[in-house]
Amino acid sequence: MSGDPVYQRQNFGNSVGFGSRPALLLVDFQVGFVDPGVFGGGNIKQAVSNTQSLLAGMRDIGAPIAYTRAVFDKSSADGGTFAMKVPGLYELEDTASISQITPELAPRRGELVLKKIGPSAFFSTPLMSWLLKHSVDTLIITGATTSGCVRASVVDSCSYALRTIVATDCCGDRAIEPHEANLFDIGQKYADLMTGDEALSMARAAFATNH
């Protein structure tokens, strides 16, 4: 599909490139989204494993790091139409074990952890103001699921004119077909696609040059 003449003729898929101040965003890498018995499946566990080295490398260079957690309140029915489509989201209450960040990627002190009730990491959260505070111009995105909250976050990142990089092997979905289809579409319209190792190499070069 990547060689589709329609996309080539219409000049899709150009590169946004890498800026001087990258940050890392981990979208909804929660216990429940890793567990196939809850919301997991597909290649999500492998994406978590792949993200470990990217996270460690971004910490080593001192890059800003942010996480999101999907957190809902049954008593207030705050999930709106999102939870109408997926009622099980109400099991992701703040203190529930399945709503916590998966232990392999546990946040450290000084790293931002955001709670959200919509698909995008930007919707009704202070993510963008936090990125501005840190002068971020490039956002590397990982997480689950590729076709859902990762994609929504990518679209909003692009809408805020951030150079957006999707670490392809550090994103996962409960089925491979939507994972691959959405990566293709994201790469044509909204973001550059790299492996986690490639993104980390670019981030290291940016920090070495500009910090």
Mean pLDDT of 173-177: 97
Instruction: Read off the tokens for 18.
Output: 């890498």
Q: Name beta bridge partners: 115.
A: 69
Nearest to 194 by CA among 160, 168, 172: 168
Q: Which amino acid is at 92?
A: L
Residue 164, strand partner residues? 139
Q: What is the mean pLDDT of residues 64-78?
A: 94
Catalytic residue, from 149, 158, 170, 171: name it.
Answer: 149
Please state, as a whole number, how many other Cβ atoms lie within 10 Å of the Cβ of residue 140: 28
Model-level pTM? 0.96
**Domain spans, the chain:** 18-28+42-66+109-210
Any idea which fold 18-28+42-66+109-210 has? Answer: Rossmann fold (3.40.50)
**DSSP per-residue codes, 153-191:** HHHHHHHTT-EEEEEEEEEE-SSHHHHHHHHHHHHHHT-
Q: Which two tokens stand for residue 95?
A: 């203190």
Per-residue pLDDT band at 3 (split at 50, 70, 90): low
pLDDT at residue 52, rounded to an integer: 98
Q: What is the mean pLDDT of residues 33-39?
A: 96
Mean pLDDT of the 184-210 span: 95
How is the beta sheet containing 192-194 ordered, strand by strand?
112-116, 65-70, 22-27, 138-144, 163-172, 192-194
Q: Does 149 qualify as catalytic in the annotation?
A: yes
| pLDDT tens digits for range 78-99 | 988 999 999 999 999 999 999 9
Pairing of strands 65-70, 163-172: unpaired
Does residue 208 carry a pLDDT above 90? no
Kindly give the pairing relationship between strand 112-116 and strand 138-144: unpaired
With a CB cutoff of 8 Å and minimum separation 6, the contacts of 83 are 72, 77, 89, 90
